[in-house]
C-alpha cells in the first residue's frame, strides 16, 4: 500500500463510523428524537442525555445522530443521482461530440449560469420545503458539475492513442465507452463525488438553517443550529454540538477528496516547494577562490569524479557516477547518451539547477572565471551560483516554448537577463537587445521584441532562448538538447547558428548535450559518451567515431540507421534502472563481448591514446 | 495518375484525399479553411512498405488516420480492397477493421494503463473471433513470442514495461487480428537509438513473415530508407515527391526533398560546413498557404512561375513523380550529399 | 484586447439571456401548476378560487410563448411586477438593497485575496514545513465550516462572550461611516473566510506548479535574484489560475451572502430573498434571483477580462 493510499484510511474510517452511526440510528438505544421533556429544557449533559437537552427538552445526542441521517441521506442521495445522470451526459457528449455534445453537456451547463444556492431557493419556492424537493434541487444543481468533469476527462482520454487503438480494432463505441473510457474517468469522478457530498451538505444545512430545507420536526443539523441561535444566551453549547458535527463531517469529506486526488493522480503531488527560494546560511568560505597558481592557460572547466545522487529514501541513489570531463576555452564538447544516461543532470549540476531532491554527492567541478582564480562549483550555494549564471555560465534549454515565460514579452525577458549582469539601461539596452536578436538570426528584431513567446514560431523561440543565454557573453555555454524538439530543416538552422556563435566568440566553451550521434558529428570537437550515469568513452569526435574504444559506443554507432544494410544493428535489452545497476561493468548485460571478468568489478578507466579514455577492460581485444 | 509498376489492383488506395479543419476566428469571425491534407493520391500494393516523410504539420499523420478510416476525409475517398470506406456502415466498417491496424508513436499513450497487456491483445482476437475462445490464451502467448516477449508478461500492466517493450506489445496487438495493412505512425520516434533499432528490425521481420502492406510515417529519413521500398515526401499537406527509395535518396527531384536530405545530420558530415544549403524560414501556416507551389517561399530555386499555380506532377521515371516545375534540376550540384 | 472584451461582453449578454430563459423554464416546466403549488402548503389542497385568481394575476392562462415574451419584456424594462406581500414594485426593493449586497461581496473578495495570495505563496515556498501544515489545517477547517456556522459562532464569541463586536445590524454609510464599516466587517469577514481558504489553497497549488516550470529555471539561469523571480515569474503566472478559481467561486460567494445577511440582519438583497422565499412571494423571488444571476454573470465577465490582462495567450485564442 502506497503512502498516498494509506492516507486515505483516516478520512475513510471516520466516514465509515459516521455512516454506520446514522444507519444504525433506528436500532441504537437512543431516546425518542421527538420526545419532549419541557421541564428539563436546556438541561446540561447527564447520564441519560450525554449531550444535554434542547429547548423542548429533547435529547441532543439522538437528534444529532438522526439529523446526520437526514443530512447524509439528502447529500449522498442527490450526489449519487447527479453522478449517474451527469456521467452519462458527460460520457456521451465527450465521446460523440457534435450535436450530442450540445444536447448533453452544453444544455446541462445552463444551470451553472445561476449561483447554486439561488437555484435551490428557486426550486424550494416552487415546490415548497422538504426532503424530496431538496434532493431534486441538489440533483439539478450538481448534475452539470459531473457532466463537466466527465466530459473533460472523456475528451482528454478519447484523444489518447489507446482509445484510437480500440476504434482501429473495430470495437463497438458503447463497449469503448464502458470498458476503456469509464474506468479511466473514474478517478476524477470519485474526487468529484466526495466534493459534491460535502458541498451538498453545505447547501442542505444552509437551507434548513434558513427554515427552507428539512421541515421540522424532522431533525437536521441546520435546523438545530437555527434553533440554538435563538437560545444562544441560555445554552451556548446547543450551538456548538451541531456546528461541530456539521463542520467535522464536511471536513472529513473534503479531506477524503484531497487525499483521493493525490492517491488517484500522483502527478498532482508536486515536489515540495523550492529550496533555492529559501535563504540558507552561507557555506563557510565554500566558493573559495583559490590562488591562480596553476598553469597560465587553465581549462575552462574541469570536472573530477562528479557524482549526483537522489536524496530520497534511506540510501542515497547515485544517478551520475564518477564523471570526469575537461573543457578548454573555445572547445565544443558533446555529452551524448540515451535517456537515463545522466547527461542532462550533469549539465544542470554545472548551473546549480539540479532538482531539489538531487544533489552533488561527490567530486569537484573546477571552473576558471573571467577575473581569474578557480571556483569549485560543487561547493557553491544558490547565491554563489547566482553570481556566475548568465555572465560566466549560461544555458540553452531543450523546450524553448516551456523555457520562456508565456506572459512576458521577449523584450522583458531579454532585458532582465542583460540587466542582471550589466548597467545598460534605456536606449543602450534596447539597441543591445536588437543586436542580440539580429545575432541569433531573428528577422525584424524591433518588432519581435514586442512579441510574446507564443507569437513566435518554434525555431524563432529557440533563437530567442539562445539570445537570452548569450546576452552576457558567457564563457561557458551549455546547450541541453537544443534541437531535439525541432524539425530537420529548423534543426539545421539552429545548428548553423551554434557554429556561427562558435566562430564569433572563439573563447567560449560549449557543452552540447544530445542523444543524436549525427548531431555530435556535425558540431562537436570532442565527445563524451555516457551510459547509465557514467562516461564510458571520451575523445576527439573524429577519432571516437572512426575507432570507438568501448563496445557501447561501437554498438550505438552501428545502431544509427544510416547505412544501406537491410537490418539494423540493435543493442539487446534495456538501460538498467539506477536502483538495479548490474555489478561490475554497467553495460555488460547488453554487451556482445562480455566475459565473466566484466561483471566482477567496475572497470577502471583506461587511456588507449592521448586525449582518449574508455571504461572497458577489454578495449584492446574488442575494438 | 501515373503508371504503377504492378499488375494486381492496389490493396489500399487514397484518391484525391483532402482534410479540412476549419477554424473560426472569434465568435463572429470568418470561418477559415485549414487544409491539413490536400489532394493526396497514393496506392499501396499487398506486402509493400511505403514511407511517408515530412516535417511536423505536413499532414502525414492525418493522412495515415484517414487511410485507416479513423478520420473522415473532407474530399476524396479511401478504397480498401475495392471497397470505399465511406460507403460502409458501422458494423461492416468495424468488421473490416480486422484487416487494417495501427501502431502509434507514443508507447506510453497507446496502451490502456488500467488493463493487463494480455487483455488488450485479446480484444482483437475476441471481437473478430480470430481463434476459438479456448485458444485465446495460447494465441496471446504466440503473439508475444512473435514480438520477442515472454508469454508471462500477458498478466502485467503496461506501466511495468519500458518504452521499447511497450512498442512491441502495441505491435503484437496490431498483428493479433492478422491484418493485411498496418499504418505505423512514427513508431520509433519516441525511442532511444539502440531500442529504435530493435523495433525497426521487428517491423522488418513481421513485414516479410506476414506479407503486410505498411504505411510507415516518420520524420526521420534514415529510418524510412531502411524500411521502405517506396517513399512519399509531403510538404504542407501535399505530396511533393514520390518514388522508389533509391530514386528519392540518390537523386532527389524536388528541391524540398533535397533540402530535407541536406538538413538531416549525418554521422559522416559533409566536408562543407553544416547548413551549406540550409533552408531559410519555416513552414507557412496551413491556414494561409502561399499561392501556387506551397514550397516556393523557402525554395532556393523558386522563380516567378512558381507562384502562379500549384505545379503538376512531373513524371521522373517509373513510379517516380515530383510536383515541381523545375524537378530534377540541381541534382548534379548536390550529388555529394546522398 | 478591446475585441476580446467586446467578445466576452457579447458572451455575457448571451448568458444573461440564458439565465432569464432558464428561470422562466424552471418555473413552467417543473411538474404541477405554479399557482396551485404556491398556494398549497404542507399537503393541504389550495382553494380553487384563489388558484384561479392567482393564475389570472400571474398571467398563467396565456399561451406559453406570450408568457415568455411578457417575462423577457419585464426583465428588460426592469419591471418584475409587484410584491404579493405589500404590493410595491419589486424593482424598488432591489434598487435599495443591491448596493448593500455588493458591499459584502466586494469586501469579502478583497479580504480573502489580501490574505489568501500571500499566505498561499508562503505555504508553497515552505511546502511540507510547519507553516505550510498550519496554513493547510486552517484553510481546511475554514473551507469546511458553512458560513452560517461561522457567523453564529462569531456572534457567540465576539458579541455574546467577549462583547467586542455588535451582533449584527446596519447603519447607513451616510449616517455613520465608521459604524457602517464596523458592521460591514462582520458579514464580509464571515463570507471571506471560506473564500480565503479557497484562494490560499489554490495559490499554494498554483505557485507549487509554477515553481516546477521550465521558465522559472530559465529565470534562475539568467542569474536573477530571488525576489525578482518570485514576483515576476512565479506569482504573476500563478495568479492566473487563482483568478479563474475566484470566478468559479463567485456563485458560492453570492450564496454565502444569502446566509450571512440573514445571520447578521444585514438588510441586503440576498437576505431579503429568504423572506421572499419564505412567504413564497413569487414576483419578488423571480426578480431577485434574476438580478443576482445577472450580477453573477457580470462578475464572471470582470474576472475574465482581468485574466486576459494577465495572460496574453487568452485574448489571442478567442478573439
pLDDT tens digits, one per residue of B261-315? 888 888 877 545 544 567 888 888 888 889 889 999 998 888 888 998 889 999 9
SS3 for A301? Answer: strand
- A543 within some domain: no
Q: Residue C251 in contact with residue C314, Cβ under 8 Å? A: no
pLDDT of residue A50 exceeding 80, the answer is no
Q: pTM above the 0.90 mark?
A: no
DSSP for A83-127, written as a single string: HHHHHHHHHHHHHH-HHHHIIIIIHHHGGGGS-HHHHHHHHHHHH
Q: Are residues A69 and A217 in the same domain?
A: yes
Neighbours of chain C (3+ CB pairs under 8 A): A, B
Average pLDDT in chain C: 84
d(CA A299, CA A327): 6
Select the highest-mean-pLDDT range: A253-267, A400-414, C284-298: A400-414
pLDDT of residue A341 exceeding 70, the answer is yes
Sheet hosting strand A509-514, strand order edge to edge: A393-396, A476-480, A509-514, A332-337, A526-531, A534-540, A613-614
Residues 143-162 of C with CB under 8 A from A: 143-149, 152-153, 155-156, 160-161
Chain B contact for C11 (CB, 8 A cutoff): yes
d(CA C145, CA A242): 11
Nearest by CB: B109 against A162, A460, A568:
A162
Q: Are residues A74 and A171 in the same domain?
A: yes
- Residue C319, pLDDT score: 36
pLDDT digits over A82-94, tens only?
999 999 999 998 8
User: Sign of dihedral through CA atoms C279, C280, C284, C285?
Assistant: positive
Contact A160 B128 (CB under 8 A): no
d(CA C196, CA A166): 45
Query: In the structure, what pLDDT confidence band is assigned to residue B331 with cuts at 50, 70 and 90?
Result: very low
Domain boundary among A492, A509, A524: A524
Spatial CA neighbour of A559 closest among A527, A531, A518: A518
Overall average pLDDT of the C38-61 stretch: 71
Domain boundary among A477, A492, A524: A524
- Residue A284, pLDDT score: 42
- A226 within some domain: yes
Q: Which of A97, A153, A164, A165 to mutate to test the interface with B (most CBs of B within 10 A)?
A: A165
SS3 for A214? Answer: coil
pLDDT digits over B79-114, tens only?
999 899 988 888 888 889 999 999 998 888 889 988
Query: In the structure, what pLDDT confidence band is assigned to residue A446 with cuts at 50, 70 and 90?
Result: very high
pLDDT of residue A331 exceeding 70, the answer is yes
Q: Are residues A586 and A441 in the same domain?
A: no
Q: Residue A559 in contact with residue A572, Cβ under 8 Å? A: no
Q: Are residues A224 and A260 in the same domain?
A: yes
Q: Are residues A341 and A240 in the same domain?
A: no
Q: Residue A492 in contact with residue B274, Cβ under 8 Å? A: yes
Instruction: Please tell me the least confidently modeled range out of C78-92, C115-129, C189-203.
Output: C78-92
End-to-end CA distance of chain C: 8
SS3 for A604? Answer: coil
Q: Residue A461 in contact with residue A493, Cβ under 8 Å? A: no
Q: Are residues A437 and A569 in the same domain?
A: no
Contact B267 A517 (CB under 8 A): yes
d(CA C60, CA C55): 5
pLDDT of residue C46 exceeding 70, the answer is no
pLDDT digits over A56-82, tens only?
778 888 888 998 998 899 999 999 999
d(CA A152, CA A623): 56
Contact C127 A272 (CB under 8 A): yes
d(CA B315, CA B293): 17
Angstroms from B54 CA to nearest CA on chain A = 9
Contact A278 C259 (CB under 8 A): no
pLDDT digits over C187-204, tens only?
899 999 989 999 999 999
Contacts of A402 in chain C (CB under 8 A): 213-215
Q: Are residues A458 and A565 in the same domain?
A: no
- A601 within some domain: yes
- The grid coordinates of residue A504 equal 564569433
- Residue A285, pLDDT score: 43
Q: Are residues A379 and A519 in the same domain?
A: yes
Q: Are residues A185 and A327 in the same domain?
A: no
- A466 within some domain: yes
Contacts of A211 in chain C (CB under 8 A): 278
- A312 within some domain: no
Contact B26 C7 (CB under 8 A): yes
Spatial CA neighbour of B188 closest among B230, B216, B159, B211: B216
- A58 within some domain: yes
- A291 within some domain: no
pLDDT digits over B110-143, tens only?
899 889 999 999 999 999 999 999 999 999 999 9
* Higher-scoring residue by pLDDT: B31, A489: A489
Q: Are residues A242 and A332 in the same domain?
A: no
pLDDT of residue C251 exceeding 70, the answer is yes
Number of domains chain A contains = 3
Average pLDDT in chain A: 87
C239: left (phi over 0), alpha (psi -120 to 50) or beta: alpha
pLDDT digits over B1-57, tens only?
444 555 578 999 999 999 998 876 555 556 788 899 999 999 999 989 999 999 888
Chain A contact for C176 (CB, 8 A cutoff): no
Q: Residue A474 in contact with residue A467, Cβ under 8 Å? A: no
- Residue B180, pLDDT score: 93
pLDDT of residue B226 exceeding 90, the answer is no
Neighbours of chain B (3+ CB pairs under 8 A): A, C
Spatial CA neighbour of B99 closest among B35, B15, B12: B12
Q: Are residues A496 and A598 in the same domain?
A: no
- Residue A500 main-chain phi, psi, to 5 deg: -65, -45
Q: Where are the beta strands (DSSP E) in A179-220?
A: none
DSSP state of B108: T
Distances (CA, A) of A294 to A290, A297, A298, A334, A476: 10, 8, 7, 26, 20
- Residue B274, pLDDT score: 46
Domain of A477? 317-524
d(CA C238, CA C218): 16
Overall average pLDDT of the A112-136 stretch: 83
Contacts of A225 in chain C (CB under 8 A): 148-149, 152
- The grid coordinates of residue C241 equal 489560475
Contacts of A127 in chain C (CB under 8 A): 30, 32, 37
- The grid coordinates of residue A573 equal 535489452
Instruction: Please tell me the least confidently modeled range out of A142-151, B139-148, B286-295, C38-47.
Output: C38-47
- A178 within some domain: yes
d(CA B321, CA B330): 16
User: Sign of dihedral through CA atoms A150, A155, A161, A167?
Assistant: positive
- Residue C232, pLDDT score: 92
Q: Where are the beta strands (DSSP E) in A258-342?
A: 301-310, 317-327, 332-337
C-alpha A297: how far from chain center:
44
pLDDT of residue A357 exceeding 50, the answer is yes
d(CA A303, CA A324): 5
Distances (CA, A) of B18 to A63, B21, B56, B102: 70, 10, 17, 20
Q: Are residues A256 and A185 in the same domain?
A: yes
User: Sign of dihedral through CA atoms A20, A25, A30, A36?
Assistant: positive
pLDDT digits over C134-161, tens only?
999 999 999 899 999 998 888 888 888 8
CATH code at C99-267: 1.10.3720.10
What lies within 8 Å, CB to CB, of A17 at 6+ separation is none
What are the structural domain ranges in chain C?
2-77, 99-267
Q: Residue C199 in contact with residue C246, Cβ under 8 Å? A: yes
Distances (CA, A) of C313 to A33, A82, A580, B218, C242: 59, 35, 44, 31, 16
What lies within 8 Å, CB to CB, of A459 at 6+ separation is A486, A490, A493, A494, B282
Domain boundary among A509, A524, A539: A524
Counting runs of H as helices and runs of E as strands, what totals does chain A give? 25, 11
Query: In the structure, what pLDDT confidence band is assigned to residue B333 with cuts at 50, 70 and 90?
Result: very low
Q: Any idea what the CATH number is for the domain that residue A517 is in?
A: 3.40.50.300
pLDDT of residue A199 exceeding 70, the answer is yes
Cross-strand partners of A304: A364
Nearest by CB: A420 against C145, C149, C223:
C223
Amino acid at each position: 500500500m502506497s503512502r498516498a493510499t494509506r492516507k486515505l484510511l483516516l478520512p475513510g474510517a471516520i466516514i465509515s463510523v459516521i455512516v454506520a452511526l446514522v444507519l444504525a440510528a433506528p436500532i441504537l438505544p437512543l431516546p425518542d428524537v421527538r420526545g419532549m421533556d419541557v421541564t428539563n429544557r436546556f438541561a446540561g449533559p447527564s447520564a441519560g442525555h450525554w449531550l444535554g437537552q434542547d429547548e423542548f427538552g429533547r435529547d441532543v445526542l439522538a437528534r444529532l445522530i438522526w439529523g446526520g441521517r437526514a443530512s447524509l441521506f439528502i447529500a449522498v442521495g442527490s450526489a449519487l443521482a447527479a453522478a449517474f445522470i451527469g456521467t452519462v451526459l458527460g460520457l456521451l457528449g465527450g465521446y460523440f461530440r457534435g450535436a450530442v455534445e450540445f444536447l448533453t453537456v452544453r444544455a446541462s451547463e445552463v444551470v451553472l449560469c445561476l449561483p447554486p444556492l439561488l437555484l435551490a431557493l428557486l426550486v424550494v419556492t416552487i415546490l415548497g420545503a422538504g426532503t424530496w424537493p431538496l434532493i431534486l434541487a441538489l440533483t439539478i444543481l450538481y448534475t452539470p458539475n459531473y457532466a463537466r468533469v466527465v466530459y473533460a476527462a472523456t475528451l482528454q482520454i478519447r484523444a489518447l492513442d489507446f482509445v484510437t487503438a480500440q476504434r482501429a480494432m473495430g470495437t463497438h463505441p458503447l463497449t469503448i465507452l464502458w470498458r476503456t473510457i469509464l474506468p479511466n474517468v473514474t478517478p476524477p469522478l470519485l474526487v468529484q463525488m466526495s466534493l459534491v457530498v460535502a458541498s451538498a451538505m453545505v447547501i442542505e444545512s444552509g437551507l434548513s438553517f434558513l427554515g427552507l430545507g428539512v421541515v421540522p420536526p424532522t431533525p437536521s443539523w441546520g435546523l438545530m443550529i437555527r434553533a440554538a441561535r435563538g437560545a444562544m444566551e441560555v445554552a451556548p453549547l446547543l450551538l456548538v454540538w451541531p456546528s461541530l458535527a456539521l463542520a467535522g463531517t464536511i471536513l472529513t469529506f473534503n479531506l477524503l477528496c484531497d487525499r483521493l486526488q493525490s492517491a488517484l493522480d500522483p502527478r498532482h503531488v508536486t515536489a515540495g516547494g523550492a529550496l533555492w527560494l529559501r535563504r540558507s546560511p552561507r557555506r563557510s568560505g565554500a566558493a573559495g577562490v583559490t590562488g591562480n597558481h596553476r598553469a597560465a592557460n587553465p581549462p575552462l572547466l574541469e570536472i573530477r569524479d562528479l557524482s549526483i545522487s537522489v536524496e530520497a529514501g534511506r540510501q542515497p541513489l547515485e544517478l551520475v557516477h564518477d564523471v570526469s570531463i575537461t573543457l578548454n576555452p573555445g572547445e565544443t564538447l558533446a555529452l551524448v547518451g540515451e535517456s537515463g544516461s545522466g547527461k542532462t543532470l550533469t549539465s544542470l549540476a554545472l548551473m546549480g539547477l539540479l532538482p531539489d531532491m538531487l544533489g552533488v554527492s561527490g567530486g569537484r567541478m573546477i571552473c576558471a572565471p573571467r577575473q581569474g582564480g578557480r571556483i569549485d562549483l560543487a561547493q557553491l550555494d544558490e547565491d554563489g551560483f547566482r553570481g556566475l549564471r548568465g555572465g560566466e555560465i549560461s544555458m540553452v534549454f531543450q523546450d524553448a516554448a516551456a523555457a520562456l515565460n508565456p506572459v512576458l514579452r521577449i523584450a522583458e525577458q531579454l532585458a532582465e537577463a542583460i540587466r542582471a549582469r550589466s548597467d545598460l539601461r534605456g536606449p543602450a539596452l534596447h539597441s543591445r537587445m536588437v543586436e542580440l536578436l539580429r545575432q541569433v538570426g531573428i528577422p525584424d528584431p524591433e518588432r519581435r521584441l514586442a512579441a510574446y513567446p507564443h507569437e513566435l514560431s518554434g525555431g524563432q523561440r529557440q533563437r530567442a532562448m539562445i539570445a537570452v543565454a548569450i546576452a552576457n557573453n558567457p564563457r561557458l555555454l551549455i546547450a541541453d538538447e537544443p534541437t531535439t524538439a525541432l524539425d530537420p530543416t529548423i534543426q539545421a538552422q539552429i545548428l548553423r547558428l551554434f557554429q556561427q556563435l562558435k566562430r564569433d566568440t572563439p573563447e567560449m566553451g560549449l557543452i552540447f548535450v544530445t542523444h543524436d550521434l549525427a548531431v555530435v558529428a556535425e558540431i562537436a570537437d570532442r565527445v563524451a559518451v555516457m551510459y547509465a550515469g557514467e562516461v564510458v568513452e571520451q575523445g576527439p569526435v573524429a577519432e571516437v567515431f572512426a575507432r570507438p574504444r568501448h563496445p557501447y559506443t561501437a554498438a550505438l554507432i552501428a545502431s544509427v540507421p544510416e547505412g544501406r544494410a537491410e537490418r539494423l544493428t540493435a543493442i539487446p535489452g534495456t538501460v538498467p534502472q539506477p536502483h538495479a545497476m548490474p555489478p561490475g561493468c554497467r553495460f555488460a548485460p547488453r554487451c556482445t563481448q562480455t566475459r565473466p571478468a566484466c561483471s566482477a568489478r567496475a572497470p577502471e578507466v583506461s587511456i588507449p591514446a592521448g586525449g582518449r579514455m574508455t571504461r572497458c577492460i577489454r578495449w584492446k581485444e574488442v575494438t | 495518375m501515373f503508371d504503377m509498376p504492378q499488375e494486381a489492383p492496389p490493396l489500399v488506395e487514397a484518391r484525391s484525399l483532402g482534410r479540412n479543419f476549419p477554424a473560426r476566428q472569434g465568435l463572429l469571425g470568418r470561418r477559415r479553411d485549414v487544409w491539413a491534407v490536400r489532394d493526396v493520391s497514393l496506392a499501396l500494393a499487398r506486402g509493400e512498405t511505403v514511407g511517408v516523410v515530412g516535417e511536423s504539420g505536413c499532414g502525414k499523420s492525418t493522412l495515415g488516420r484517414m487511410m485507416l478510416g479513423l478520420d473522415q476525409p473532407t474530399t476524396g475517398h479511401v478504397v480498401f480492397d475495392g471497397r470505399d470506406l465511406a460507403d460502409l456502415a458501422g458494423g461492416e466498417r468495424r468488421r473490416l477493421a480486422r484487416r487494417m491496424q495501427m501502431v502509434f508513436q507514443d508507447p506510453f499513450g497507446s496502451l490502456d494503463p488500467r488493463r493487463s497487456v494480455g487483455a488488450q491483445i485479446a480484444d482483437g482476437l475476441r471481437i473478430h473471433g480470430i481463434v476459438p475462445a479456448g485458444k485465446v490464451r495460447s494465441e496471446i502467448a504466440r503473439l508475444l513470442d512473435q514480438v520477442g516477449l515472454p508469454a508471462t508478461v500477458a498478466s502485467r500492466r503496461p506501466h511495468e514495461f519500458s518504452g521499447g517493450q511497450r512498442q512491441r506489445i502495441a505491435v503484437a496487438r496490431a498483428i493479433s487480428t492478422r491484418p493485411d495493412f498496418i499504418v505505423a505512425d512514427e513508431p520509433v520516434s519516441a525511442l532511444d537509438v539502440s531500442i529504435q533499432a530493435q523495433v525497426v528490425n521487428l517491423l522488418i521481420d513481421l513485414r516479410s513473415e506476414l506479407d503486410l502492406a505498411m504505411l510507415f510515417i516518420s520524420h526521420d529519413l534514415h529510418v524510412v530508407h531502411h524500411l521502405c521500398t517506396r517513399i512519399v515526401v509531403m510538404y504542407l499537406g501535399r505530396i511533393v515527391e514520390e518514388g522508389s527509395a533509391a530514386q528519392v535518396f540518390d537523386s532527389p527531384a524536388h528541391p524540398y526533398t533535397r533540402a530535407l536530405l541536406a538538413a538531416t545530420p549525418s554521422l559522416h558530415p559533409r566536408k562543407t560546413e553544416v547548413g551549406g544549403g540550409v533552408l531559410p524560414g519555416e513552414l507557412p501556416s496551413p491556414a494561409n498557404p502561399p499561392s501556387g507551389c506551397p514550397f516556393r517561399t523557402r525554395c532556393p530555386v523558386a522563380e516567378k512561375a512558381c507562384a502562379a499555380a500549384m505545379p503538376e506532377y512531373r513524371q521522373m521515371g517509373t513510379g517516380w513523380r515530383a510536383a515541381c516545375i523545375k524537378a530534377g534540376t540541381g541534382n548534379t550540384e548536390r550529388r555529394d550529399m546522398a | 484586447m478591446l475585441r476580446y472584451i467586446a467578445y466576452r461582453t457579447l458572451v455575457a449578454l448571451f448568458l444573461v439571456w440564458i439565465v432569464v430563459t432558464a428561470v422562466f423554464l424552471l418555473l413552467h416546466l417543473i411538474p404541477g401548476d405554479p399557482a396551485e403549488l404556491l398556494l398549497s402548503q404542507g399537503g393541504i389542497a389550495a382553494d380553487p378560487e384563489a388558484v384561479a385568481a392567482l393564475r389570472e394575476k400571474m398571467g398563467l392562462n396565456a399561451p406559453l410563448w406570450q408568457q415568455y415574451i411578457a417575462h423577457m419584456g419585464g426583465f428588460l424594462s426592469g419591471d418584475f411586477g409587484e410584491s404579493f406581500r405589500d404590493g410595491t414594485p419589486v424593482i424598488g426593493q432591489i434598487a435599495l438593497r443591491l448596493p448593500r449586497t455588493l458591499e459584502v461581496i466586494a469586501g469579502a473578495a478583497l479580504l480573502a485575496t489580501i490574505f489568501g495570495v500571500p499566505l498561499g505563496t508562503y505555504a508553497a515556498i515552505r511546502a511540507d514545513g510547519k507553516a505550510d501544515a498550519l496554513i493547510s489545517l486552517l484553510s481546511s477547517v475554514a473551507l469546511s465550516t458553512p458560513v452560517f456556522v461561522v457567523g453564529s459562532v462569531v456572534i457567540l464569541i465576539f458579541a455574546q462572550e467577549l462583547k467586542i463586536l455588535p451582533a449584527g445590524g446596519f447603519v447607513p454609510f451616510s449616517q455613520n461611516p465608521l459604524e457602517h464599516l464596523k458592521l460591514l466587517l462582520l458579514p464580509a469577514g464571515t463570507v471571506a473566510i471560506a473564500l480565503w481558504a479557497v484562494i490560499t489553497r489554490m495559490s499554494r497549488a498554483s505557485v507549487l506548479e509554477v515553481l516546477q516550470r521550465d521558465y522559472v529555471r530559465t529565470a534562475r539561469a539568467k542569474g536573477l535574484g530571488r525576489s525578482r523571480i518570485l514576483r515576476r515569474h512565479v506569482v504573476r503566472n500563478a495568479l492566473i489560475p487563482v483568478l479563474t478559481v475566484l470566478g468559479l467561486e463567485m456563485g458560492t460567494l453570492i450564496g454565502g451572502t444569502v446566509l450571512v445577511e440573514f445571520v447578521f440582519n444585514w438588510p441586503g438583497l440576498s437576505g431579503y430573498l429568504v423572506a421572499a422565499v419564505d412567504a413564497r412571494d413569487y414576483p419578488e423571488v423571480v426578480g431577485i434571483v434574476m438580478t443576482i444571476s445577472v450580477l453573477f454573470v457580470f462578475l464572471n465577465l470582470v474576472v475574465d477580462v482581468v485574466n486576459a490582462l494577465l495572460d496574453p495567450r487568452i485574448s489571442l485564442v478567442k478573439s
